[in-house]
Structure 1
């Protein structure tokens, strides 16, 4: 069951924010890259994404106090969109450089999602049985191993954030079947339509479909971004050239002004993500969740612009980005069912302790997963 925060909420929140800002400040270093959207930037954005999700789960699911960790906890939807955007972008970049058949894609890409997921899920099933005496039915375990999570019950499902697994697998399954090297934008459009129809009309009767309908466009937008930023030896990409020149060679205040404006967008839109803040737009679109998704996408794009234009790398975000998938897989069962820190430490200290523990446990998980992945890669060749 969730706990009620008895500490001074404002003080606990301010301490966490102060520690986070200090760590961020101390782990900045000058960027070495000149590319528009290099791996280092995508890793940092993944780190930012998982942090927004974790902070939200601390505040709304663990402590059940909306004031705790505010405003760190209010943009988890942006974090989910960042993950989907990065997936669509990364898969598209790979397919544009080296096209592969659907079968080869499933063997080399889709299985990479399932292996750590299966390992984490089996460990959770076993731990719940051994330490908590909680046993799940065989049909539930089978459907879970297949990636089917129609519900997102915080204390009822084996891992409520796994609703995202079902949604992500849908995109991964359709992507190689629909991807066009010549027209990636068309692939994005088709996937956007399919996801929007599923999210809007819920033909599969997903009990927590409201989560899916908030995240129908980020993955297709990642595909579009890969298409727009595509470079080749034969033809210069004028958009890429312009962005590089603006970031690397711009003089004066232009770059700083854009970054500051994007920060202003993040702050303002973060405080106005609900459709209740945009009644006119909501009435025009007819569905409030369209407006909430639009708000999250605007914030996501603002973060992408900021991270693309900054000339500093951040080690803390990069580390969390490196282990972002593992943190996603294990963080909620740990704090939801195996928490010890909140029992013995002040809330702010418990959060900080878990932030360190997530990386340690994620690192240990990779030690199990990596040899299995290497073995599967060897078989797939």
Structure 2
């Protein structure tokens, strides 16, 4: 059940102060000269999962919506970051080394299911053993198949798993529609399909409002991979221009100005994400959730620009990015049903303790997943 917290302003200030200190202490000068290397995408994943975790603390675990403000208000941006990175990463791989549909499913789609299944087994077992919660067999079967039409905080086995259903939809359609010659067309097709599913909800998903807020980020990731694609035979003038601009020391002042402008956009848009702040845009787009998605994407791209231009890497965000999927899989059942910190600690200390615990538990989960993934890889290669 939700927890009531009384010292919200004090807790918020302490958590924010500690996070700022950790971020500053874990900055290191960048060694890469690329525009969008793995280190940057990993940090953005770390940022994404933290926005989701903070929102679940604030709007699901506790009764005080002001808790962790403003860290808690852009979870939608975090979801879009994950979808964007998925579309981008898959497309970079497919453009370099195209893969038949069945091979894609065996090598890429199964990568999602393995840690997901292991986490789900532990959650079902723990709920039955420690809480005497026994889920209906049909519900367990549909869960293992990745079907989560609802996101009931204290009712579903893991309410954030609505995202699993949406992500699997993209992964299932991706190799069928993807074209190495026209990636932009593939992105357009996926955007149209996702938007139609989100708007009309033909599968009657109970919490479809979540899905329709995130129809474009994955296709936009495909477009980004297409625009930034480099080959040995042909120079990508856009990439060359961006690299020269980023790495030219004489442009440092311009870099800072752009970063400050992007930060201003992040702050302003984060405080004005809903459709009621943009009546003219709502009238133009026709639906409030289109406006909500638009504002989320604007913030997402502002973050991408900031992270691409900065000349420092951040270890803390990198660690959270490395274990982002594992943290996503386990964080809500842990804090929602197995909280061991809020009962004995001040709220700010409980949040910080959980942030450490998420990584430690995710390391264990990843170590369990690695040999299983290696074994399955050997099977599919035969």
Query: TM-score, normalized by length of structure 1?
Result: 0.99
Q: Distance in 2 between matches of 1:14 and 1:170?
A: 40
Task: Name the counterpart of 2:38.
Answer: 39
Q: Distance in 1 between matches of 2:170 and 2:271?
A: 30
- What is the deviation of 1:113? 0.2
- What is the deviation of 1:251? 1.1
- What is the deviation of 1:250? 4.3
**1:29 partner SS:** strand
Task: Name the counterpart of 2:146.
Answer: 147
**1:173 partner SS:** helix
Task: Name the counterpart of 2:257.
Answer: 257
- What is the deviation of 1:64? 2.5
1:95 matched to 2:89 = no
**2:343 partner SS:** helix
Task: Name the counterpart of 2:235.
Answer: 236
Task: Name the counterpart of 2:57.
Answer: 58
**1:313 partner SS:** strand
- What is the deviation of 1:285? 1.2
Task: Name the counterpart of 1:124.
Answer: 123
Q: Distance in 2 between matches of 1:61 and 1:379?
A: 41
Q: Distance in 2 between matches of 1:343 and 1:99?
A: 52
> Where does structure 1 lack aligned partners over 5 or more consecutive residues?
none
Alignment of 1:123-272 (within 5 A): 123-252=122-251, 253-272=253-272
What is the alpha-carbon root mean square deviation over aligned residues?
0.6
> Where does structure 2 lack aligned partners over 5 or more consecutive residues?
none
Task: Name the counterpart of 1:309.
Answer: 309
Task: Name the counterpart of 2:366.
Answer: 366
Task: Name the counterpart of 1:105.
Answer: 104
Task: Name the counterpart of 1:13.
Answer: 12
Q: Distance in 2 between matches of 1:190 and 1:217?
A: 11
Q: Distance in 2 between matches of 1:26 and 1:61?
A: 30
Query: TM-score, normalized by length of structure 2?
Result: 0.99
Q: Distance in 2 between matches of 1:64 and 1:40?
A: 36
- Moved beyond 2 Å, runs of 4+: none
1:323 matched to 2:344 = no
- What is the deviation of 1:286? 1.1
